[in-house]
Structure 1
Amino acid sequence: MSEEHTTPETEDTTIDAAAEQPQPPAERTPEQLALAGKVEEYLMDVIDPELGINVVDLGLVYDIWIEGESTAMVNMTLTSPACPLQGVIEEQANTAVLTNLEGEISELQINWVWMPAWGPQMINEEGREQLRALGFSV
């Protein structure tokens, strides 16, 4: 008969999700800011498959910055942590950014973050207008 050993939890294991997500550097060069702006522009081509609105106008993109010379970092969320379309959105983002910024961006790294939790208040006015046109009341 084998004996199973268990150890009781003795410390709080609460994880501060916001502290763990990558953060943009405090200082960015004008070139990095301009390139991050281009990344955001092409992320507007990424459409949430369920709502039919781009991820930027939906407020799903929290931060964009450039690491080194050519790695785009994006802190991004989904409308729900259980969203089954994460892979589709990630593939669209890679295609949109890496194809349109070839020679400027060599890698797109999406950090999926859940804090703060996404809510309809994060949708910008353009996104609200698009949702109203589709019959949603926002």
Structure 2
Amino acid sequence: MSEETTIETQELGEKIVTVLKTIYDPEIPVDIYELGLIYDVFVNEDNEVKILMTLTSPNCPVAESLPAEVEERVKSLDVVKDAEVEMTFDPPWSQDLMSEEAKLELGML
């Protein structure tokens, strides 16, 4: 992988994070990225994206719609060839995964 490809991949990763920060958990007024629901974002040299994410609980009311929304929003970026969301509950989400910003927003600090 060339240095140029690495920079492009990194820039795409940042664009993806920007998109993820526009998606909110319906029950908590904080975006899914700051909540710590996104465990990992993988981008290969073909600009295919795989996102490993979780939900606040397996019984979350948006268990079906939220991953689909994440996938669609990421696919809407011009440079993304394809996007796939993989759900995991290992490790289970906890408040420890939230950013300082999210904790502050929710009055937890």
- Fold match by TM threshold 0.5: yes
Structure 2 unaligned residues grouped into runs of 5+: none
1:1-138 to 2 correspondence within 5 Å? 29-99=6-76, 101-102=77-78, 104-132=79-107, 137=108
TM-score between both structures, scaled by the size of structure 1: 0.68
Contact 1:33 1:65 in 2 (8 A): no
Q: Offset of 1:56 from its aligned partner?
A: 0.3
Determine the C-alpha separation between the residues in 1 that align with 2:65 and 2:92: 20
CA RMSD in angstroms comes to 1.8
Shift of 1:82: 1.9
CA distance in 2, matches of 1:88, 1:52: 17
Tell me which structure has the larger Cα radius of gyration: 1
TM-score between both structures, scaled by the size of structure 2: 0.84
Tell me the matched-pair count. 105
State the percentage of identical aligned residues: 27
Residues 26-71 of structure 1: CA deviation (Å, up to 9, x unaligned): xx82322221121111100111011121100000101101124121
On the 8 A contact 2:9/2:47 being kept in 1, the answer is no
Gaps of 5+ in 1: 1-27
